[in-house]
Structure 1
Amino acid sequence: METELITITEYCFKYDIEPEFIISLEDSGIISLMRVESEKYIHIRQFGELDKYIHLHYDLQINIEGIDAIRHLLEKVDAMQQEIQELKNRLHVHQ
């Protein structure tokens, strides 16, 4: 059975990133980490998001504040797309 948590140390080693980056994301409220005793863990549900943040930071040189701004804007875009879809569905019902 595969575990749903991975330590920051294991994750950073596997993806060749600095643990301080992950901690900075947590400190900024961008991701949530779980603490078990003295070790912090990442839940597998956050791997997709974390992959995006790694790309933004390491490939595009975007700082933590920029990542947070981009994340916020993308959440707004998603909410607006959902609202547009709901409005289209209601419009379709009334035609």
Structure 2
Amino acid sequence: MSLENFIPLNQLCTHYKVEMSFFTHLNEFGLIEIETIEESPYIHQDKITDVEKMIRLHVELDINFEGIDTVFNLLEKIHDLQAELTATKNRLRLYED
């Protein structure tokens, strides 16, 4: 497996000043997926934006892991509802024109 799309968790721990257990808990809640490559834990670079949000929620707002899980589930539902609303509006335009 190529490492070019993955970021080592120890590097993220150092950069964001969080413990490795933070990422372990996020993984346990299913919020991130930790890949073990050559016996070292990594996270895919596509998830870094979500990880940064989770760190801010936890560190700056003191939200626990259950709260972070709830926030991300609600954000996902909002995104799905917005997509559904857009699709409905597009279908409605077909009948209006």
TM-score in terms of structure 2 length: 0.91
Overall identity of the aligned pairs, in %: 35
Partner of 2:23: 22
1:65 and 2:88 aligned: no
TM-score under structure 1 normalisation? 0.93
SS at 1:42's partner residue?
strand
Matched with 2:55 is 54
Partner of 2:38: 37
SS at match of 2:7: strand
1:61 is paired with a residue whose SS is coil
After the TM superposition, list the runs of 4 or more consecutive aligned residues in structure 1 that deviate by more than 3 angstroms.
none
**What one-letter code is carried by the residue in structure 2 that aligns with 1:27?**
E
Unaligned runs of 5+ residues in structure 2 are none
**In the alignment, what sits opposite 1:74?**
75
Are positions 1:84 and 2:92 aligned together? no
Partner of 2:7: 6
Residue aligned with 2:12, SS: helix
3-state DSSP class of the match of 2:90? helix
Q: Which has the higher mean CA deviation after the structures are superposed, 24-33 or 11-20? A: 11-20
